[in-house]
Amino acid sequence: MSTAAETLLQVDDLHAHYGKSHILHGVNLKVARNEVISLLGRNGSGRSTTMKAVMGLVTPTSGRIQLQGRELAGARPYAICRAGIGYVPEEREVFANLTVDENLRMGEQPPVPGAHRWRIEEMFDYFPRLKERRNTKAGSMSGGEQQMLTMCRSLLGNPLVLLIDEPTEGLAPKIVAQVAECIRDMHRKGVSVVLVEQKLAIALKVSTRVCVMGHGRIVFEGTPQELTANEQLVAEWLAV
C-alpha cells in the first residue's frame, strides 16, 4: 500500500450511480508516483465507472478524489485534465476528420510540475505506424491504429496519472506487445498508470500492483505475485 507521502491520486469512499442503479459502493484507491496499477474484475464490476468518475465523466454521488491533495470530485473533465490526469477511453474517440498529426497536436498541453514532458517524436518511436500515417485522417485508420493514436494523444497532455481503459481490446498480438512496452516506458519515465485490462497476462506483466473489483468495490489489492498465488480469489472474482 502506498504511503501518504508517496500518494499522487487518492480516492476515498467513492459512490456513483447511473440513474437509480448504484454502481460504485465505496471505492478506495491510492496511486503512488511511478506506479502501474491494474483494476481487474469481471464486466460490470465497476472498473470503467471508477475511471470515468475520477475523470469527471460520471459525477460521483459522494466520496473524495484528490490529486496531490487537490480535491477534484465533481470537477469538469477539462479541469481534471489540466490538473494532471489523462484518460484513454475504451471507445478511442479520435477526431475522425483530422490527420494523425493534427490529432496529436490537439492533445498537447504544458506539463504540470513534476510531470514528464512528452514529444510527438517519442510517440512515433513507440508506434512507427503512426509516423507512416501522420498525414492520414484518423477516421480511415484501423481500430489498432486508432488505439495507438488515442494513447499517444493522451500522453502528450503530460499527465501525472494516466487512466487507460481496455487498451488491447481487439488488437493484434504485435500491437498488444507495442502497447505493453509503451506502458512499461511510461512507468520508467515516472508516469503513474491506472489500467483496466481484460487480458490477465498483460495486466500482470506491466503492473506493480493490482486491485480486484467486485460488486462496485475493491475486494483485493496486492502485487501480481500475491494475486496469482491466491487461487481461491482468482476463481471467485476473475474466472469466467
pLDDT of residue 4: 45
pLDDT of residue 1: 44
The reply to whether 164 falls in a domain is yes
CATH number for the domain harbouring residue 28:
3.40.50.300
The reply to whether 2 falls in a domain is no
pLDDT of residue 165: 95
Tell me the torsion sign for CA atoms 49, 84, 188, 87.
positive
pLDDT of residue 175: 87
Q: Are 32 and 192 in contact (CB under 8 A)?
A: yes
Give the residues of the chain that fall short of pLDDT 50.
1-5
The reply to whether 1 falls in a domain is no
Q: Are 64 and 12 in contact (CB under 8 A)?
A: yes
The reply to whether 12 falls in a domain is yes
The reply to whether 51 falls in a domain is yes
Number of domains in the chain: 1
Dihedral, CA atoms, 174, 175, 178, 179, nearest 10 degrees? -140
pLDDT tens across 32-48, in order? 998 999 999 999 999 99
Directed axis angle between helix 143-155 and helix 173-188, to 10°? Answer: 10
The reply to whether 183 falls in a domain is yes
DSSP the chain: ---TTTEEEEEEEEEEEETTEEEEEEEEEEEETT-EEEEE--TTSSHHHHHHHHTTSS--SEEEEEETTEE-TT--HHHHHHHTEEEE-TT----TTSBHHHHHHHH--PPPTT-----HHHHHHH-HHHHHTTTSBGGGS-HHHHHHHHHHHHHTT--SEEEEESTTTT--HHHHHHHHHHHHHHHHTT-EEEEE-S-HHHHHHH-SEEEEEETTEEEEEE-HHHHHH-HHHHHHHT--
pLDDT of residue 144: 87
pLDDT of residue 15: 98
Query: Residue for cell digits 486491485?
Result: 211
The reply to whether 228 falls in a domain is yes
pLDDT of residue 3: 44
The reply to whether 18 falls in a domain is yes
* Residue span of the structural domain in which 11 resides: 7-237
Q: Which three cell numbers stand for residue 153?
A: 494523444
Query: Residue for cell digits 469538469?
Result: 76
Burial class (CB in 10 A: 0-12, 13-18, 19+), 101: middle
pLDDT of residue 143: 87
pLDDT tens across 198-212, in order? 889 999 999 999 999
Cα→Cα distances 149→95, 137, 183, 226, Å? 10, 11, 14, 34
Q: Which three cell numbers stand for residue 194?
A: 491506472
